Amino acid sequence: MQPNGSSPASTQTVTNGSSPEIIEHKAYARIGLLGNPSDVYYGRTISLNIRNFWACVRLQPSADLLIVPHPNHDLVKFDSVSQLVNRLETEGYYGGVRLLMATCKVFTNYCKEQGIHLHNNNFSLSYDTNIPRQTGLSGSSAIVCATFSCLLDFYKVRDKIAVEIRPQLILNAEKELGIVAGLQDRVAQVYGGLLYMDFNKESMDKNGYGNYTQLDTSLLPPLYLIYAENPSDSGKVHSAVRQRWLDGDMFIISSMEKVANLALEGKKALLEKDYSKLAILMNQNFDLRRQMFGDAALGALNIEMVEVARRVGAASKFTGSGGAVVAFCPDGPSQVELLNDACKKAGLSIVPVKVVPSLLSEVDIRAQSSIHHPST
């Protein structure tokens, strides 16, 4: 399951003659185009999945239930202490095995709670990913999302768990591990394509999910992903702002409402293909985030990535909470060339964004409209 530059399908079932079915699913990196991080604050967002990076999970029936460690991301054998220390400094302490395990637990418990029958056959789970670490591209949730899809098909319950519920279950698996995040990433990775999300409090309190609208991906202008090879941890920048919001800080509350409104305006701009307006909204999104979180929380490298794009006149903002930036060049190819040169000089990677279409199957769409489980 080695990632490469191809355009893989989101689902692949492999059969080898009389051998049991092997189920594979891919979930893609996510770019928050507008409105993030207001998804955690009953706001609105626009996100898209990209073909450039993905996680792939493989499920194969087996006699014992086996969670297979990744040869690189879950490395436990080293040539020396120096190699171990270097590995921990560059990759951190945790690989993907814990994500596979947490997904199995949350999936199984939810099915039991809802009276959804699961057969007793066992399986082996393995994974691979090429999503750069700590880039705000939702690498962890991609692994969980792909695992969840494998379980849906292995137990043949895709029609029994509503599409709207799945992102919360994926988030619950990550919460098991102390990962701080909102629903936006998981919704985007479940649905695929270009998605407008409204997480209004009324809907969230009543249903446990928001109102989600898929938009035509052809509405998007050319976008570019900029990222650093050694970014900072994206999970630490939510904390202070979250507490201030909970404490009723009016500056944070009003600023977050402004961020949420950018997504609403952005939806209109995309539908009208008003890309000049889109550029303004993208810049405003980052500026509001910077005012709320402060430079120390955002990090110098993350800010510099935004500034590199802005110095050539491109619009830019974080894809998530830091580590990568999405940029748009309203002046066209000549500006793109300037942006490429600027990124190269700054030692940053830049790639054209390749958008994934909707990932919902006919079964998913039927489940989306016909199943109404209580919120989790």
Q: How far is Cα 96 from Cα 101, in angstroms, rounded to an integer? A: 9
| Sequence-separated (6 or more) residues with CB below 8 Å from residue 123 | 59, 60, 61, 62, 65, 66, 154
CB atoms under 10 Å from CB of 372, counted, come to 9
How far is residue 140 from each of residues 73, 144, 303, measured CA to CA in Å?
12, 7, 23
> Is 364 part of the annotated catalytic residue set?
no
How far is residue 77 from each of residues 73, 80, 101, measured CA to CA in Å?
12, 9, 21
Question: Strands 22-34, 44-61: parallel, antiparallel or unpaired by DSSP?
Answer: antiparallel
Q: How far is Cα 188 from Cα 47, in angstroms, rounded to an integer? A: 6
State phi, psi for 160 to the nearest 5 degrees: -110, -10
The one catalytic residue in 185, 295, 331, 341 is 185
CB atoms under 10 Å from CB of 204, counted, come to 17
- Residues with active-site annotation: 185
